[in-house]
Amino acid sequence: MSEYPVVPGHEIVGRIAEVGSRVTKFKEGDLGAIGCMVNSCGKCSSCEDGLEQYCLRGFTATYNSPTEDPGGITYGGYSKAIVADQSFVLRIPGSLSLEGTAPLLCAGITTYSPMRHWQVASGMKVGVVGLGGLGHMGVKFAHAMGAHTVMVTTSPHKAEDARKLGAEEVLISSDKEAMENQLGQFDFILNTIPVNHRIDPYLDLLKVDGTMCVVGAVEPLDKVNAAQLMFGRKTLAGSIIGGIGETQEMLNFCAEKNIVSDVEIIAIDQINLAFERLIKSEVKYRFVIDMSTL
């Protein structure tokens, strides 16, 4: 689907170098952030409801997306500068570190948005499946929202990290007895597994009226057993990022709760090595490129 040349990057923070004559929201020298989208139609029912991510005409992605701007396609944050409409630029609370804020623009809002929508709160038991770039933010948010947070993973060696991030429990999904002991106990499950996988073991963990939201696997899932949904009135849902207003709300929440992503800083000429390490799951939990090294 890519249109080459591609300049990726959609978790962007930096200092504003210049503003247009009609810009009122920012001034030169301010800190700003850009996430996964830089425009939408602004007229459909989704946009009018502040859900630009679900624009019925399709939002304009920060990179590799058709645009009416010069060049005809968007280019992202792996560049010396980026231009965007002020309505799609976010304010960074002063208490947040820039490097830890950058991944909030995708990994953060992707996990925050469904938790807000399904009203995760104190008194609820919430599972986060998968401990990676998305999962580690899911654990932080569920804990900060007051929920009893359970990390669900196939990897016992991730238990210590999960607890440091805020998980009260760690459930090893390959442990049949442990899974059986947790059947029907979860109000909400955030599923961050990024590839096709069996979802039936996780659906069994939900209470009556419980919800599992898939945010990782942007591809077909092989089997969904409708009986699991029917006998328990359970919901299988999906979610992507949030709208601009909700993303700003998330950044403000992070400032209030002192939440940022766990990151490792690299220079841009280290991207290939970073990609190799990403394939091997050797990053905790996001690489962030320091563009000042250009």
42 and 55 part of one domain: yes
pLDDT band at 293 (very low <50, low <70, confident <90, very high): confident
pLDDT (0 to 100) of residue 277: 95
289 assigned to some structural domain: no
122 and 221 part of one domain: yes
pLDDT band at 1 (very low <50, low <70, confident <90, very high): confident
68 and 171 part of one domain: no
228 and 161 part of one domain: yes
63 assigned to some structural domain: yes
Q: 30-46: per-residue pLDDT in tens?
A: 999 999 999 999 999 99
36 and 99 part of one domain: yes
CATH number at residue 234: 3.40.50.720
pLDDT (0 to 100) of residue 63: 97
- The residue-averaged pLDDT of 90-107 equals 96
Q: What is the 3-state secondary structure (H, E, C) of the chain?
A: CCCCCCCCCCCEEEECCCCCCCCCCCCCCCEEEECCEEECCCCCHHHHCCCHHHCCCCCEECCCCECCCCCCECCCCCCCCCCCCHHHCEECCCCCCHHHHHHHHCHHHHHHHHHHHCCCCCCCEEEEECCCHHHHHHHHHHHHCCCEEEEEECCHHHHHHHHHHCCCEEEECCCHHHHHHCCCCEEEEEECCCCCCCCHHHHCCEEEEEEEEECCCCCCCCCCCHHHHHCCCCEEEECCCCCHHHHHHHHHHHHHHCCCCCEEEECHHHHHHHHHHHHCCCCCCEEEECHHHC
Q: Is the pLDDT of residue 294 over 80?
A: no
Q: Is the pLDDT of residue 56 over 80?
A: yes
**Total number of domains constituting the chain:** 2
135 and 210 part of one domain: yes
Q: Is the pLDDT of residue 272 over 90?
A: yes
161 assigned to some structural domain: yes
pLDDT (0 to 100) of residue 188: 98
- Residue-range definition of the domain harbouring residue 115: 108-238
pLDDT (0 to 100) of residue 84: 94
128 and 100 part of one domain: no
- The residue-averaged pLDDT of 50-62 equals 97
pLDDT (0 to 100) of residue 70: 85
271 assigned to some structural domain: no
